[in-house]
C-alpha cells in the first residue's frame, strides 16, 4: 500500500509543480475609466496659459454673496503645475495644483473676516472646450469659469 500512496503523492507534487512553474506575473491593465475610454488630458494641461474668469457661488446658508474669480494655469521650470488664482478683488496668488483624474485641485490662502477664517479648497473639471466647473469647500459652493 505504501508504494501506491507514495506514487500518488509524487504524481500530485509533479502536477502542482507544473502549475507553479507555469505561473507568471499578471499583465498590467490600462487605467480604469467609467466609460473605458482612454484617459484624456488634465485640466491643467488643457487650460495651460489660458486666462479664465467666472463666479464662485456659495451655498445659500453661508450668507456670502457671489464672488468673481480668475485663474491662469502654468507650469514652473521644475515641471510642477501651478495656478495663479484670485478671488474677488484680491491679487492673484500662486498656488500648487494637485491632479486627480482629469480634475485640478488647489487650496487658497486663508481669508479672515470678523466672524470666520475661510480656507477654501477648489476642485474643477472640464466643461466643454472653454470652460471649467467645480466645487468649493469652506465656503461650500460651486465655481464656473470661462477660459480665453
Sketch the domain layout of the chain as residue ranges. Answer: 43-147
Q: Are 29 and 126 in contact (CB under 8 A)?
A: no
Question: What fold is seen in the domain 43-147?
Answer: Lipocalin (2.40.128)
Sequence-distant (6+) residues with CB within 8 A of 2 are: none
- 110 vs 71: CA distance, rounded Å: 17
On whether the CB atoms of residues 80 and 104 are closer than 8 A, the answer is no
Measure the CA–CA gap between 126 and 134, rounded to whole angstroms: 9
| Backbone φ/ψ region at 103: left (φ over 0), alpha (ψ -120 to 50), beta | beta
pLDDT exceeds 50 at position 18? no
Q: What percent of the chain has pLDDT over 90?
A: 34
Question: What percentage of the chain carries pLDDT values higher than 70?
Answer: 68
The C-alpha angle with vertex 124 and arms to 122 and 130, in degrees rounded to 5, equals: 135
Confidence at 17, pLDDT banded by 50, 70, 90: very low
Predicted confidence at residue 102, as pLDDT, reads 81
Q: Please, which residues have CB within 8 angstroms of residue 117's CB and are 6 or more apart in sequence? A: 110, 111
- Split at pLDDT 50, 70, 90, the class of 129 is confident
Read off the pLDDT of residues 28-87 as tens digits, 9 standing for 90 and up. 555 544 555 555 566 666 678 889 999 999 887 667 789 999 999 999 999 899 999 998
Q: pTM for the complete prediction?
A: 0.67
134-146: burial string, b at 16+ Cβ within 10 Å, e else? bebebbebebbbe
Decide if 147 contacts 47 (C-beta within 8 A): yes
All cell numbers assigned to 132: 471649467
Amino acid at each position: 500500500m505504501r508504494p501506491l500512496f507514495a506514487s500518488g503523492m509524487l504524481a500530485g507534487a509533479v502536477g502542482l509543480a507544473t502549475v507553479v512553474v507555469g505561473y507568471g506575473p499578471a499583465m498590467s491593465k490600462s487605467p480604469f475609466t467609467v466609460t473605458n475610454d482612454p484617459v484624456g488630458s488634465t485640466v491643467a494641461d488643457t487650460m495651460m496659459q489660458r486666462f479664465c474668469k467666472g463666479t464662485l457661488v456659495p451655498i445659500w446658508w453661508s450668507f456670502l454673496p457671489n464672488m468673481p474669480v480668475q485663474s491662469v494655469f502654468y507650469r514652473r521650470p521644475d515641471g510642477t503645475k501651478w495656478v495663479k488664482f484670485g478671488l474677488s478683488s484680491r491679487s492673484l496668488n500662486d498656488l500648487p495644483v494637485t491632479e486627480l483624474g482629469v480634475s485640478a485641485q488647489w487650496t487658497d490662502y486663508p481669508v479672515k473676516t470678523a466672524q470666520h477664517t475661510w480656507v477654501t479648497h477648489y476642485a474643477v473639471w472640464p466643461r466643454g472646450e472653454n470652460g471649467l466647473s467645480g466645487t468649493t469647500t469652506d465656503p461650500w459652493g460651486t465655481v464656473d469659469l470661462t477660459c480665453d
